[in-house]
Structure 1
Amino acid sequence: MHESNNNGHDKKILVIGLGQIGYSNAEYLRSLGGLRVDGFDISEKAVERAIKDGIIDKKAADFAGYDYYLICISTHQPNDMFTPYQDGIMEVAYRIATEGRQGALVGIDSTIPKGTSRKVLALLNHKMHVVHVPHRYYGPEKKEHGVNQTRVIGGCEPCCMAEGKKFYGQMLGIPLHEVSAIEVAEMTKIVENSYRFLEIAFAEELKMVSESAGIDFDELRKAVNTKWNIKILEAREGIGGHCLPKDTEMFLSVAKNALDSSIVSAAKMVDHKYRFYLSQKPIAPQVELGKAKTEL
């Protein structure tokens, strides 16, 4: 069990969104012991799973009476995980504004474009405090890289930052890296995932170039990676998931104000070509286990 520096037993927490981000947050909150944690999700299945797994006490009937609101909803189009979508964030903010407790803390863990946090604050009419603490979580290594790894925190106003540090830092025991402006925090996750996209796209490009030149990609990659400051990634099935493709679009929405072209756009084109490249490769014949013939 993790230990926090403030038991917060008299405080109520609402986790809004019980997908990957919200579930992992609620699970961590529960591991601290003694916290009163409710959940909300438009998916009844997600709520039922969270209740069954014992990570929330109950589904919130409304948003009234909570001290802390953790917004953990997906920020992609409902039917297109590659396209950013912010309506859900604003709908949640509106509901908090109309039902929530004045003076409460609203923590946005979801990935959001630059400028979103201040829009939320304006909608709340600054009756509540708003911070952005971009989520960081890697399931296979959640002990080392779970919810309580070092997180970036930004606040809309100094009072927001103070309340955010009390909750995330003191009550939850999460190591925090404080930034001077909430816009820096908003860009953090977008830049993290755009940088990761570039790394993977380079590996994909190198694999296509290597195979075209008759060079074994894996052998070349291992050879190059013997240099201490180089780590070329594996090239697999293309860049998928619901984070990297979406977050690079958020980055490009900012980059277009400064640049006519972006290496991120080029990387997305490389990934598209790589997927097509894989689709044109002949599928290796599958040999049923135990029936392969070996010639001596």
Structure 2
Amino acid sequence: MKSIYEKLINRQGKLAVIGLGYVGMPIAVAFAEKINVIGYDYNQMKVEQYKNGIDPTFEVGDEIIKNTPLEFTSDAKKLSEAIFIIVAVPTPINQDKTPDLTPIISSSETVGRHLTKGSIVVYESTVYPGVTEDICIPILEKESGLKCGADFKVGYSPERINPGDKIHRLENIHKIVSGSDSEALEQIQKIYDLVIEVGTHSVSTIKTAEAIKVVENSQRDINIAFMNELAMVFDRMDIDTNEVVDGMNTKWNALGFRPGLVGGHCIGVDPYYFTYEAEKLGYHSQIILSGRKVNNGMGAFVADAAIKQMIIAGKSPKSAKVVILGLTFKENCPDTRNSKVADIIKRLKEYEISPVVVDPWATEQDAKTEYDVDLKTMSDVKNADCIIIAVAHNEFKAMTLDDINNLYKDIPQNEKILIDVKGLYKVSDLKSKGLRYWRL
């Protein structure tokens, strides 16, 4: 009897990917170059975009989407044709910072209803240790009437995609793989090895694989929180944080982290999944939640710095024209989910300031739906009192200080306020231009 791996490479069975976002779509496209793949998403509008050769995520590009043999569909019945199913749906948090497992529960129900005997289901969505086995498997069994182990197998392989990163890509990032038993693990590893050029790394249990994902992002969150705390202290000491970090990074064992706005659907969310499960087991986080608290306060800190600089310059913040460049959670990426730039906007509005927001990567619909922000274009930016460069998109990095200078009102240079959150400009250049500047 042929294995699932053999059936896939001989095109006698199909692989399906559930969720065609920043994670699911790239891996579906990669597998489609090797085997028959169904790309499923319940969002019919998104599926139509893919069918029309449009990549709204910019992860692989329109040209590849136009030419991929991947079968895009919003018809869940097609999943019954698959013998290997990857679930790559988002796992956000609720308002109270607890995990929102609604997408993964709903996806498990959909998969279960169309699960065929002998299949393997692999979850890639970020979850706390235990979700796959304690929540997902029982749903699959209930909906399918099949028994895990005897009739189908399950695995977990955390996604490690870095949206907008053109260097660290799916094929050259080591993939963690795990399975419900040794047979499942062997099959899962062989199948992922088809597209992961640098290879996979297997671990002994599904819980271990789940823990790896939440811990690696929690580690980054804590390190950035430390740098953010330093930035707040150095601001009081009148010390430039980036200059300190540049000097520190000349030592061989420096970690290279810098202060910044920590948002998005991974680093800004995953630590809550870890601490949620820890607290259920009676352990209250001493470090992780403290790091989250620091990072969650950075948007307000930046806004307060802008207010302070306007007051020092003799302006009335309420009547000043403030421009924010960037809304997405990171540079060169259209994803606005959990963007901490929204916290800057929220804080400014507390002072009755309605900033002009420009972002060439974000969509007008996302900005309006998520944050009630009406995006403007660079041609709309003129007569500014204060400019906050919040996201280091290439379009903004390409702007010289002369370009920035031309966006202000005709006022003295020391009344033109530049809040350089990402440290794009050298201190010497800022001083020579005469702008009133502040850097995180």
Name the TM-score class by shorter chain. 0.7 to 0.9
Q: 1:148 to 1:8 in 2, by over 3 A?
A: farther
Please report how far the alpha carbon of residue 95 of structure 1 lies from its aligned counterpart in structure 2 after TM superposition.
Answer: 2.5
Residue 109, structure 1, aligned to residue 124, structure 2:
yes
Q: 1:7 aligns with which of 6, 9, 20?
A: 9
Answer with 1 or 2: which has the greater Rg: 2
Residue 93, structure 1, aligned to residue 108, structure 2:
yes
Code of the residue aligned with 2:124 in structure 1: it is: D
Query: What value does the CA root-mean-square deviation take over the aligned residues?
Result: 2.7
The TM-score with structure 1 as length reference comes to 0.86
Code of the residue aligned with 1:203 in structure 2: it is: M
Q: Percent identity?
A: 25
Code of the residue aligned with 2:127 in structure 1: it is: I
Please report how far the alpha carbon of residue 110 of structure 1 lies from its aligned counterpart in structure 2 after TM superposition.
Answer: 1.1
Q: Which runs of 5+ in 2 are unaligned?
A: 54-64, 142-146, 310-385, 388-404, 414-432, 435-440
Q: Which runs of 5+ in 1 are unaligned?
A: none
Q: 1:255 aligns with which of 257, 278, 299?
A: 278
Code of the residue aligned with 1:37 in structure 2: it is: V
> CA separation in 2, counterparts of 1:40 and 1:166?
23
The corresponding residue for 2:82 is: 66
Q: 1:288 aligns with which of 391, 406, 415?
A: 406
The TM-score with structure 2 as length reference comes to 0.60
The corresponding residue for 1:177 is: 201
The corresponding residue for 2:177 is: 153
CA deviation vs aligned residue, 1:244-266 (integer Å, no higher than 9, x gap):
22211001113323533420111
The corresponding residue for 2:242 is: 218
| Contact map agreement 2:13 2:81 (CA 8 A) in 1 | no
Q: Select the structure with the greater relative contact order (CA < 8 A; seq sep ≥ 6).
A: 1
> CA separation in 2, counterparts of 1:101 and 1:148?
32
Residue 243, structure 1, aligned to residue 266, structure 2:
yes
CA deviation vs aligned residue, 1:168-213 (integer Å, no higher than 9, x gap):
12x4355111111110000111001111111111111111111111
Code of the residue aligned with 2:16 in structure 1: it is: L
CA deviation vs aligned residue, 1:17-69 (integer Å, no higher than 9, x gap):
01111111122223x34x22112112122212332224422315312121111
Residue range with higher mean Cα deviation, 258-267 or 193-202: 258-267
Code of the residue aligned with 1:73 in structure 2: it is: V
Residue range with higher mean Cα deviation, 182-191 or 86-95: 86-95
> CA separation in 2, counterparts of 1:229 and 1:65?
51
Residue range with higher mean Cα deviation, 269-278 or 253-262: 253-262
The corresponding residue for 2:336 is: none
Q: 1:173 to 1:192 in 2, by over 3 A?
A: closer
Q: 1:8 to 1:247 in 2, by over 3 A?
A: farther
> CA separation in 1, counterparts of 2:158 and 2:257?
24
> CA separation in 2, counterparts of 1:84 and 1:92?
16
